[in-house]
Amino acid sequence: MNDLFPFFIFLTQKFIIWFIYKLIILKTNGLGKSYWKEVIEVLRNIIPVYDKVNSVISLGKDNNFRKEGIIKGIHPHDVILDAGSGYGNMSKTVLDVVSKDVTIIFYDPIYEMLNKVKDNINIYSPQINFFLCSGVFENVPFKNNTFDAVLCGYSLRDAIELDIAIEELHRVLKKDGRLVIVDLGKPDNSFYRIFVAIYLKYFLSILA
C-alpha cells in the first residue's frame, strides 16, 4: 500500500465484505479496552480542532477521499448507518455529492461529537431525516438486515475488537448492503511505517 494513501472498501456481498476485509486488510485485533479509553479521551480533548486533525493526518486530502468512496457506494433513498460518525463528515459528503433523500443514523461513542451533528446537518435542510445514537462498534443496537449502507470514515481503526466490530456491521447490513470504509493504509516500507506510526500516535497528543 502506498505511503499515507487511502484505501477504499466498497463491496456488495456480505460474505466478501467479511472474507476480504479480515484476510487482507486487518493487521491488528483492535485497540483493546484500556487503550481504546485513552484514544476516546484524546478525541474528546481535540474536539475544537477535530476537523483540522483529520485534514492534517491525511495531508489535506480527507474530503477527496470521502467523496471517492461515497460516490461509488451510496445511492438515493438509502438507509445509512454512519458508524463512528464523529461530526458527521461522511454523511455531509453524502448530502453534498449523492442525495439529500436518504435516512442517516449517526452512531458514535462520544456524546460531544454527536451534539455537533445537529448543527452540521441542519444547515442543509430541516427536512433531512436523521437520528443520533451513541454506542460502540462491538454492540450495534439495531436489528439484522437493517441498512442499505454502512459508512466508516477514519473510524473503524478505533474499534476495541475488530473481529466483533466487523461481525456487527456484517449483521446489520441488508443482503445486498454496501460497506464503505475510507481510511489511511500503512506504508509497505518499514522505515516509513515506523515514521507514520510515530507521527499519528504523538501528533494528536500535541494538538490536544
Q: Which pLDDT belongs to residue 155?
A: 85
For the chain, how far is it from start to end, CA to CA, in angstroms?
A: 29
pLDDT of residue 207 exceeding 60:
no
Return the pLDDT at 35: 72
105 Cβ contact partners less than 8 Å away, ≥ 6 residues apart? 79, 80, 81, 82, 130, 131, 132, 133, 142, 147
- Tell me what pLDDT residue 139 has: 95
Model pLDDT, residue 182: 83
Q: Which three cell numbers stand for residue 46?
A: 481535540
The residues spanned by each domain of the chain are 6-207
Taking CA atoms, 163 is separated from 21, 54, 159, 189, in Å, by 10, 25, 9, 26
**Whole-prediction pTM:** 0.74
Tell me what the pLDDT averaged over the chain comes to.
76
Across 95-99, 111-115, 149-153, 172-176, least confident range = 111-115
| % of the chain with per-residue pLDDT over 90 | 33
20 pLDDT tier (thresholds 50, 70, 90):
very low
pLDDT in tens, 118-134: 888 877 767 789 999 99
Looking at CATH, the fold of the domain delimited by 6-207 is given as: Rossmann fold (3.40.50)
